[in-house]
A and B are shown apart, each in its own frame.
Chain A
Amino acid sequence: EAQLVESGGGLVQPGGSLRLSCAASGFTFNSHWMGWVRQAPRKGLEWVGNINPSGDDIQYVDSVKGRFTTSRDNARNSLHLQMNSLRVEDTAVYYCVRVEVAADNIWWFDPWGQGALVIVSS
């Protein structure tokens, strides 16, 4: 069974940095696009970014471009999100997600990790 486990969340001051990690197991990690989705407290879901299997095609939502960097280590089955210049509005639970693709290129997020809480506050 595919499983994703995030780590690295915590409290950070505005302008600070934090690095999230996601440990993947139960599937062929280097065959899948991976991504991050966040959820601010009592809010909806926001897609943050996706990364292709080889790590050389990366997409971000505009609000994090230039501040967040996602990367992957296929040898260690791990995904990372380096978050710099953090803002109060980045406060959220960050979910690591696997991208599943059907034969007709329909794709969706499954599974989701349990989430890592990031709080940006002074």
Chain B
Amino acid sequence: DIQMTQSPYSLSAAVGDRVTITCRSSQNIDNYLNWYQQKPGQAPKVLIYGVSTLQSGVPSRFSGRGSGTDFTLTINSLEFGDVATYFCQQSYGRPPYTFGQGTKLEIK
């Protein structure tokens, strides 16, 4: 099975800051990497699919990069509404289609 490892586990940043979350896969997953945002008390929503394509309606403050085994989600100009847990997920090849353990983002 492909293991997905996110870092950090949690982070706290100020409004206006730029934050970066890292996701590493245990083997090459090409560009089959998605990012989800789960706000408190809500179901997850897709932010980015295929490493870097923003889902319709997602602000351009969000961006994704990477390839192979190392990927990042960057949020520019952090807003209060970005408080959430962020998950990466690989959709490569055969199942299981695993998620990272999540990164909890808080505002200072």
B74 within 8 A of A: no
Select which of A59, A60, A102, A114 is within 8 A of B53 by beta carbon.
A102
Cβ < 8 Å to B, chain A residues 81-122: 95, 100, 102, 104, 106-115
The residue in chain B whose Cβ has the minimal distance to the Cβ of A111 is B45
User: How many A residues touch B, CB cutoff 8 Å?
Assistant: 24
Contacts of B44 in A (CB 8 A): 37, 45, 95, 109, 112
Tell me if B45 and A47 are in contact (CB < 8 A).
no
Interface of B is mostly: loop
Q: Give, as a whole number of angstroms, the nearest-CB distance from A29 to chain B.
A: 19
A61 within 8 A of B: yes
A selection of 10 A-B contacts at a CB cut-off of 8 Å is A44-B99, A47-B98, A62-B96, A95-B43, A100-B46, A107-B91, A108-B49, A112-B44, A113-B43, A114-B43
| 10 closest Cβ pairs, A-B complex | A106-B50, A108-B49, A112-B43, A45-B99, A108-B34, A59-B95, A110-B46, A47-B97, A61-B96, A44-B101
